Amino acid sequence: MDKIPTTDFHMHSSFSGDSQAPMEDMILSAIQKGLTHICFTEHIDKDFPTDHHVDFSVDTPAYLEAYTALSQKYQDRIHIYFGIELGLQPYLSGFYRDYIRQHPFDYCIGSSHLVDGMDPYYKDFFEGRDEAAAYERYFVTILENLDAFSEMDSYGHLDYIVRYGPNQNRDYSYERYADILDEILKKLIDKGIALECNTSGFRYGLGHPNPCEEILIRYRHLGGELLTLGSDGHSPEHVAFAYDKIGGLLRSCGFTHYTIFEKRTPRSLPLPA
Ligand SMILES: [Zn+2]
Ligand SMILES: [Zn+2]
């Protein structure tokens, strides 16, 4: 078997509103797949719209307690880190700044799940909207989030919205949104925020990670070095999803290393050859 990256720094358990997976099952799956370092990144999406009946708040003390017990239980077999995925909206910057300072996170992902308060995950988002205009608006809101808030370690699944468009990525390319994507990538580099390579795009049938290879290549050309990697798994079978191809893919995009975080500090690891 080809060597795979042995870290997964984006995964959810039942502490996230959209996962039923016991934390221990996620850990056992990671061990079984040969991973050496994983980070839980449970969802907190303050002010997520209530009409979908999903609660994206997180009981952080209970999450920390479970994390602490299990990370100690398995400490001889795998390194486990304490992370969070923040569902960003520009006006929430003060809330999230306070929140992440109050808890001992190793790693914070900032993600755009909402466009003007609506989640494109739900089909009604695209009703009456032009797909390209919706994608463009999604990218504009990433810039707005980055102008309001810089304290995340990595920006999650940069082109998340193409998972859910009526035509997904069939009409989508870096070129089509190059101006705004370049602005985003330059801003990440200037602020020292990592770009995440999220392998769940393969799970959603895109045939590519989020963001797509063209964006990863462009980030590298612009001087971007901090690249984090995760499956965005919500159940044990998703852990390290598509990792058999991701090492070679990232190397072909110009990367030799990727990054994990411990106590909010980046650490570089070589990509397997
Ligand atoms: Zn996300
Ligand atoms: Zn996630």
CATH number of 46-54+77-230+241-270: 3.20.20.140
Asked if residues 133 and 91 have their Cβ atoms less than 8 Å apart, the reply is no
Q: Which ligand is nearest to the Cα of residue 17, counting in written order?
A: 2
**Residue written as token pair 């030799």:** 256
Residue 2 confidence class, pLDDT cut points 50, 70, 90: low
* Confidence (pTM): 0.97
Beta bridge partners of 47: none
Per-residue pLDDT tens over the stretch 124-148: 889 999 999 999 999 999 999 999 9
Distance 174 CA to ligand 2 centre (A): 22
* Residues with Cβ–ion distance below 5 A, ligand 2: 85, 232
Distance 42 CA to ligand 1 centre (A): 9
User: What was the pLDDT predicted at 1?
Assistant: 45
Q: Tell me if residue 45 falls in helix, strand or coil.
A: coil
Q: What is the pLDDT of residue 3?
A: 83
Using pLDDT thresholds of 50, 70 and 90, give the confidence band for residue 273: confident
Q: What value does the CA radius of gyration of the chain take, rounded to a whole number of Å?
A: 17
What is the whole-number distance in angstroms between the Cα of residue 38 and the centre of ligand 2? 14
pLDDT tens sequence across 33-62: 999 999 999 999 999 998 878 899 999 999
Q: How far is the CA of 26 from the centre of ligand 2 (A)?
A: 14
Domain ranges of the chain: 46-54+77-230+241-270
